Amino acid sequence: MIKERHVCALKYAKELKKLGYPQDDSLWYWIVDLQTQKEHLYGKVGREVYNHQIDYEIYAAPTVAELGEVLPDEIKWDNNKAFLTFDSRRCLSYKVVCLGNRTQYSGRSIWEETVVNKNADTEANTRAKMYIYLIKNKHIKVEDL
């Protein structure tokens, strides 16, 4: 279905929840029936229906836009400024690129180095993987976003 391409996969939603990603404000939610292990994607109204039932686990399924809002444009990386860039033409690649100065024969010039590259099958999954990487490696904090 088309809507599944616009939210992160359940495996990333579980990881995001474990890392403290906010669970109350998403437009979509993965709901897992603990008896059958079937997973369903519901909007916010569906989440309210299942919220008080004990036979279900609920995970925020952030959209491409929601993840884009929480991912920073730049971070500190080994005392350098690093920028996060997204390239949808190259296998949905999200990169951390460090910028710095390098001396050349003719003077100073800018150089860049890709220090992290995350790829996935959809843009939402790519953004989720980058978010998870940045949180796990302490480049960003959930409470700062």
Q: What is the pLDDT of residue 119?
A: 78
Q: What is the pLDDT of residue 101?
A: 46
Q: What is the pLDDT of residue 117?
A: 78
How many CB atoms lie under 10 A from the CB of residue 75? 16
Give the residue ranges of DSSP H helices in 10-71. Answer: 10-18, 44-50, 64-70
Using DSSP, state whether 139 is helix, strand or coil.
Answer: coil
Nearest to 25 by CA among 65, 60, 64: 60
Q: What is the pLDDT of residue 120?
A: 81
Nearest to 25 by CA among 44, 2, 52, 42: 44
Q: What is the pLDDT of residue 20?
A: 94
How many CB atoms lie under 10 A from the CB of residue 49? 11
Q: What is the pLDDT of residue 32?
A: 93
pLDDT, averaged per 10 consecutive residues of the chain (145 residues), comes to 82 96 92 92 78 83 92 75 68 62 42 69 88 87 77
Give the residue ranges of DSSP H helices in 51-115. Answer: 64-70
Q: What is the pLDDT of residue 100?
A: 55
Residue 105 neighbours by CB under 8 Å, 6+ apart? none
Chain center to CA of 102 = 32
- Answer for the pair 8, 26: CB distance below 8 angstroms, yes or no: no
Q: What is the pLDDT of residue 107?
A: 43
Strand order across the beta sheet in which 74-77 lies: 74-77, 80-87, 93-104, 107-119
Q: What is the pLDDT of residue 87?
A: 67
